[in-house]
Amino acid sequence: MEENSTVIRLRQPDEFDDPLTNVLRSGARQLLAQAIEMEAEAFLAAMKDRKLPDGRDRVVRHGHGPERAIQTGIGPVPVSRVKIRDRGAEGEDRIRFTSALLPLWARRTKSLDALLPVLYLRGLSTGDFQEVLSALLGKDAPNLSPSVVSRLTEEWQGEYERWQKRDLSARRYVYVWADGVYLQARMEDSAECMLVMLGATPEGRKELVGLQVGVRESEQSWRELLVDMKARGLTVAPQIAVGDGALGFWKALDAVFPGTRHQRCWVHKTANVLNKVAKSVQPAMKADLREIWRSPDRAAAEAAIDVFAEKYGAKYPKAVECLTKDRRQMLAFYDFPAEHWDHLRTSNPIESVFSTVRHRTVRTKGSLSTTTARLMVFKLVTAAAKTWRRLKGENQLPKVVRGVRFADGIEVTNAPSQTAA
């Protein structure tokens, strides 16, 4: 289409501009690919005793078929069929491999829409995984060997254990985001949740940094997570951390990385302030809160907070106190590049990944074990990481690392740099 055309291109049916949908589709692709490989390996193992006269294996792998898109409820998911060759027979006597997961001419799943809620709610234990595949494949799922399911979940558990022990001495994170995520499925201990930390590298990439089951408001739970990361080599403190003020994370952060600045999440803060007033007042108050964090500089934001306090202080003192007690931590983002403000004002990098799996009023039968919950969240986040975009203004990150000073989002020139201790 020509650049000066007035024709507006419409989004096509198989195109998605929703980041979460792309995450889910990436996870579905990985799930299918791994399960198909395991299924083929199990078939080859069962045929291991079939030999040619010269002693070689009769049944062997023969590459992959061309990639094709399986149409699903979340758009096309590209997959490739494993090809297996029988070198010892022709015609009707030939041993043939037919995938229960991916029939030769399959172009559409039967109920992938049901897969993802089950995956999120029930985790990836051996028993639950059969249920997940049933949601994916319908009545054909029982044809999948339980041993394949078991081997697949063992492989994922191995991935998690290797990640949990990885060396962090070569890693550095300029910014980190922290949150405690309550899942829709109940944990064995109802007070526990998943403690999640994401980080931004000096190159602008976002990564999963830490993951642990714990109590969201507990300083000790967060301290254990941070100390473990530091013991594995993460010794350089992040420049700033973003999260909800109710977290036990902040005291733990000051103890383990005392040089890291605090930035309270404006999404959480807005919700907390509005919860202290009647619903009829909330729309106007929310608009006034928005004027604070959208201010072009710190002075304007400070003035907007003063106006907010004067406007609502007499009638809604608890709401005003909720905002003003964290005044300094709410405006820390002004000391960093303006290109990064959207990233630093909220913990949205975590919110976007877990928006569909946070705790709601829905109750599932049974409860998630700690092991299953960790594995579920690990696979969810690692799948999401493949679709994460770099931070905007990534060229500013090396300056932040060097300690260059910023005021109201603009680099301060002709002034001493803030050098690291």
Residue 262's pLDDT is what? 97
First to last CA, the chain: 55
pLDDT confidence tier of residue 150, bands split at 50, 70 and 90: low
pLDDT confidence tier of residue 362, bands split at 50, 70 and 90: very low
Residue 375 pLDDT > 70, yes or no? yes
Average pLDDT over residues 244-265: 93
What stretches of 185-339 adopt beta strand conformation (E)? 192-200, 206-215, 240-243, 261-264
Q: What is the pTM of this model?
A: 0.67
Among 16, 223, 28, residue whose Cα is nearest residue 113: 28
Average pLDDT over residues 408-413: 94
Q: Which residues contact 416 (CB under 8 A, 6 or more apart)?
A: 405
Amino acid at 396: Q
User: Residue 49 and residue 300: Cα distance in Å, rounded?
Assistant: 78
Residue 287 pLDDT > 80, yes or no? yes
104-147 tens-digit pLDDT: 555 544 443 334 333 433 444 445 545 555 544 444 444 445 56
pLDDT confidence tier of residue 92, bands split at 50, 70 and 90: low
Among 263, 204, 266, residue whose Cα is nearest residue 397: 204
Among 72, 381, 27, 333, residue whose Cα is nearest residue 196: 381
User: Residue 178 and residue 226: Cα distance in Å, rounded?
Assistant: 11
The tokens of 330 are what? Answer: 């709410």
Among 30, 128, 15, 6, residue whose Cα is nearest residue 384: 30
Q: What is the Cα 172 distance to its own chain's centre?
A: 19
Residue 144's pLDDT is what? 44
pLDDT confidence tier of residue 162, bands split at 50, 70 and 90: very high
DSSP 91: G
The topology (CATH level 3) of 170-265+346-375 is Nucleotidyltransferase; domain 5 (3.30.420)
Among 381, 374, 389, residue whose Cα is nearest residue 353: 381
Residue 123's pLDDT is what? 41
Amino acid at 149: V
Among 138, 141, 207, residue whose Cα is nearest residue 172: 207
What stretches of 192-299 adopt beta strand conformation (E)? 192-200, 206-215, 240-243, 261-264
Return the axis-axis angle of helices 146-164 and 370-385, rounded to nearest 10°: 80
Q: What is the Cα 52 distance to its own chain's centre?
A: 49
User: b vs e for 240-260, b when ≥16 Cβ sit within 10 Å of the residue's Cβ?
Assistant: bbbbbbebbbbebbeebbeeb
The tokens of 294 are what? Answer: 């959208």
Question: Ramachandran region of residue 355, left (φ > 0), alpha (ψ -120 to 50) or beta?
Answer: alpha
pLDDT confidence tier of residue 40, bands split at 50, 70 and 90: confident
User: Residue 376 and residue 185: Cα distance in Å, rounded?
Assistant: 11
DSSP readout, 378-414? HHHHHHHHTTPPPPTTGGGHHHHHHT--EETTEEPPS
What stretches of 154-305 adopt beta strand conformation (E)? 175-181, 192-200, 206-215, 240-243, 261-264
Residue 204 pLDDT > 50, yes or no? yes
Residue 131's alpha-carbon distances to 35, 111, 124, 137, in angstroms, are 14, 12, 10, 10
Amino acid at 258: P
- Integer Rg of the chain from CA: 26
Where along the chain do its domains lie? 19-163, 170-265+346-375, 266-343+391-421
